Amino acid sequence: MSILLINCHVISPDCDIENVAVLIEGEKIKQLYPDSSSLPKADEIIDAEGQMVVPGFIDVHCHGRSGFDFSDATQEAMDTIAIDKLKEGVTTLLPTTLTLSNEQLAASLETAAAYVKSGKKGCKIPGVHLEGPFINPCCLGAQNPDYVRLPDIEEVKELAKIFPVRKVSYAIEVEGGAEFAKQLLAEGITPSCVHSAAKYSEFKEAAKYGLKNLSHFCNQMTGLHHRDIGLVGAGLLNKEVFIELICDTLHICPDMIELIFELKDTEKIQLITDAMCAAGMADGEYSIGGLPVVVADGAARLKSNGALAGSTLELCTALKNVAEITGKPLSELIKSTSWNQAQSLGLEKHGRIEPAYFADIVFLSDDFKPTKVFVNGELRFK
């Protein structure tokens, strides 16, 4: 099956070309045609009508949306999240867990395994992201204190037998935390630090073991201080460190977003949603990890203490916000929606609109709303 996309405004890392045609054969991109005067034949022709055509987004940190949470551990929750994430341009997803019991985590991973086996037409799911349970109990945020425990590579390995674990976010300063990074990397899992009170010296120790990721940067981590630059300082100072950003202008204010993009190489920034079940839903009362949440004006906060409890952000909106705040070229910013995530996780042939790359492609309107979404060359949302 071949599909020819015509009249495309292709925006890919370091590439911004109008009036391009893109030939898809099977699951991958076959060729780009900047000169539309001589185009190949195809089984189907789709006119992009000059819209932005970008690589499909990769959300590496998302708990839920559309009224469901991945940690609900139901098949309906998993299937709905994976299908509805297409609406925001996400073609690859790492469903993200919470600090819960081992039994609850295992049940969630079982739903991801069943989703992939079923062949349902939503996002690609190459694995899951464990946020917790190995966090600092003094930096809970919206995590449940009842299930916090020390890093345990054997627990992670057992969970990975159910479904691949691609990323683990944890506190590096707890007992065994620095060495845990090396243990995760040995299993092909990306270690990341969050919900942490680590000092900069503790970051440097974990970095010796291979740590080079910081989850939801600035949130639930040690801030920048002139006597100890903490984890925020670590993310800004260290060129090899990937950082995740929740760019809803609430978790990080616009001025901080602008500052980060000025100081940090865009190739090390990953836009995420950290979305909870209220994403795509109206304001009201919800829950996360069994904790009551109130959503008002799109902001999700714990009912008990008002702490932020994930977001209701969509990834297409995150890109729009960053474009408006920074004014940087989209050919640079687009790296933060998929290419950087692919590099961090070792996902080959993802995140670019180039020959031999997977045909994960999104058409975006002028207001950054997805109008068509292709996954592995198949139109799955319009």
* pLDDT recorded at residue 209: 98
Catalytic residue among 274, 283, 360, 367: 274
* pLDDT recorded at residue 102: 97
For the chain, the structural domain boundaries read 2-54+354-381, 57-345
Is there a contact between 169 and 215 (Cβ–Cβ < 8 Å)? yes
What SS3 state is found at 332?
A: helix
Exposed/middle/buried for residue 331 (C-beta within 10 Å: 0-12, 13-18, 19+)? middle
What SS3 state is found at 379?
A: strand
* pLDDT recorded at residue 35: 77
* pLDDT recorded at residue 290: 82
pTM: 0.97
Task: Please report, for residues 2, 28, 33, 264, 367, the alpha-carbon distance to residue 11 in angstroms, rounded to integers and kept in the order given.
Answer: 21, 17, 14, 21, 15
Whether 57-345 and 2-54+354-381 are alike in CATH topology: the answer is no
- Give the residue carrying structure tokens 């030939």: 23
274 is catalytic: yes
* pLDDT recorded at residue 291: 85
Give the architecture (CATH level 2) of 57-345.
Alpha-Beta Barrel (3.20)
Q: Which residue type, as a one-letter code, is found at position 329? A: P
* pLDDT recorded at residue 368: 98
CATH of domain 2-54+354-381: 2.30.40.10
- Give the residue carrying structure tokens 């992201």: 129
Of 38, 45, 55, the closest CA to residue 23 belongs to 45
- Could you read off the pLDDT tens digit of each residue along the chain, which spans 382 residues? 999 999 999 999 999 999 999 999 999 999 999 977 689 999 999 999 999 999 999 999 999 999 999 999 999 999 999 999 999 999 999 999 999 999 999 999 999 999 999 999 999 999 999 999 999 999 998 899 999 999 999 999 999 999 999 999 999 999 999 999 999 999 999 999 999 999 999 999 999 999 999 999 999 999 999 999 999 999 999 999 999 999 999 999 999 999 999 999 999 999 999 999 999 999 999 998 888 999 999 999 999 898 888 999 999 999 999 999 999 999 999 999 999 999 999 999 999 999 999 999 999 999 999 999 999 999 999 9
* pLDDT recorded at residue 288: 87
Is there a contact between 372 and 318 (Cβ–Cβ < 8 Å)? no
Q: Which residue type, as a one-letter code, is found at position 303? A: K
Interacting residues of 66 by C-beta distance below 8 A, sequence separation 6+: 80, 81, 84, 277, 279, 280, 281
* pLDDT recorded at residue 38: 86
